[in-house]
């Protein structure tokens, strides 16, 4: 265990351990939580629910999830994630959850097909996907562009540095697809991916305050500058090439980008 002082129980790991208390303090949660002693983790959770409001409880649940992951990293890999990183990441995720809960629903353009289809003659179709490996603690993206003959005319794959959620990885992938369009100066482009939330953000009248949206500013502006550039949702079966590219990156040791 992290503190190496007490017998490890679930209650100790998620509430009583000094290492856990340090994370709570960094988020300003330490003085809000009920004081024990408690016999079980359930009794502690029951008491917590009585004193925290909705936003505080949301943050606490994300904190517990991150604290437990931190504990597992230490036990199984002897890697100790800094308390501040645990706290900062939890606050980021909790904010995203709140924004997603409060944001109005936006229509998501896209037709669910059973297989990938060629774009209309004159158009380029770009498929994007992001992937995450918990074992490697690594995020990757795959981007592939094809013309109306179905021929690949550009493809890129890359590692994504830093801490990410599934949504921010997908946002990074869409941003990469749009950077591909801008670097090639293509004028008639359809970009597809299987992240419905990100597609909704890009098609919204304004960007929200989520962390994922911070990756989409350039993409959102580009969409409004050219009416022939659109973003659509598609299902995984139609996005398999980009999906495979992103996962292929896990087999590479060093950062690699290729162009076809």
Residues paired with 160 in a beta bridge:
139
pLDDT at residue 100 in the model: 64
Residue labelled with tokens 């500058």: 225
Within 10 angstroms of residue 259's Cβ, the number of other Cβ atoms is 9
- Inform me whether the pLDDT recorded for 257 exceeds 70: no
CA 259 to CA 246: how far, in whole Å?
15
Question: Mean pLDDT over residues 157-168, rounded?
Answer: 79
pLDDT at residue 111 in the model: 53
Q: How confident is the model at residue 258 (pLDDT cuts 50, 70, 90)?
A: very low
| DSSP string for residues in 203-229 | HSSS--SSTGGGG-HHHHHHHHH-TTE
Q: Is the pTM of this model over 0.85?
A: no
Of 151, 149, 148, nearest to 120 by C-alpha is: 148
User: Which of helix, strand or coil describes residue 232?
Assistant: strand
CA 5 to CA 18: how far, in whole Å?
9
DSSP 145: E
Q: How confident is the model at residue 218 (pLDDT cuts 50, 70, 90)?
A: confident
| pLDDT tens-digit series, residues 142-158 | 999 999 999 999 999 88
Average model confidence (pLDDT) for the chain?
82
| pLDDT tens-digit series, residues 197-206 | 888 888 888 8
Q: How confident is the model at residue 98 (pLDDT cuts 50, 70, 90)?
A: confident
Residue labelled with tokens 């989409």: 216
Of 241, 221, 240, nearest to 231 by C-alpha is: 221
């Amino acid at each position: 265990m992290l503190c190496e002082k007490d017998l490890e129980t679930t209650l100790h790991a998620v509430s009583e351990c000094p290492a856990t208390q340090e994370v709570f303090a960094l988020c300003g949660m330490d003085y809000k939580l009920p004081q024990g002693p408690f016999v079980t983790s359930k009794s502690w959770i029951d008491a917590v629910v009585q004193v925290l409001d909705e936003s505080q409880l949301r943050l606490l649940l994300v904190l517990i999830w991150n604290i437990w992951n931190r504990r597992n990293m230490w036990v199984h890999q002897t890697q100790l994630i800094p308390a501040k990183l645990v706290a900062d990441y939890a606050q980021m995720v909790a904010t995203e959850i709140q924004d997603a809960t409060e944001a109005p629903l936006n229509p998501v353009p896209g037709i669910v097909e059973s297989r990938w289809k060629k774009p209309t003659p004159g158009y380029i179709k770009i498929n994007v996907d992001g992937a995450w490996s918990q074992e490697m603690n690594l995020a990757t993206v795959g981007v592939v562009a094809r013309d109306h003959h179905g021929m690949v005319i550009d493809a890129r794959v890359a590692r994504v540095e830093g801490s990410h959620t599934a949504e921010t990885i997908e946002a990074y992938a869409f941003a990469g697809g749009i950077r591909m369009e801008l670097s090639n100066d293509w004028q008639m482009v359809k970009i597809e991916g299987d992240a419905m939330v990100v597609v909704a953000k890009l098609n919204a009248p304004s960007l929200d305050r989520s962390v994922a949206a911070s990756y989409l500013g350039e993409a959102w502006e580009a969409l409004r500058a050219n009416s022939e550039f659109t973003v659509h949702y598609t299902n995984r079966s139609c996005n398999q090439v980009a999906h495979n590219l992103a996962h292929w990156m896990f087999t590479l040791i060093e950062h690699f980008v290729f162009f076809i």
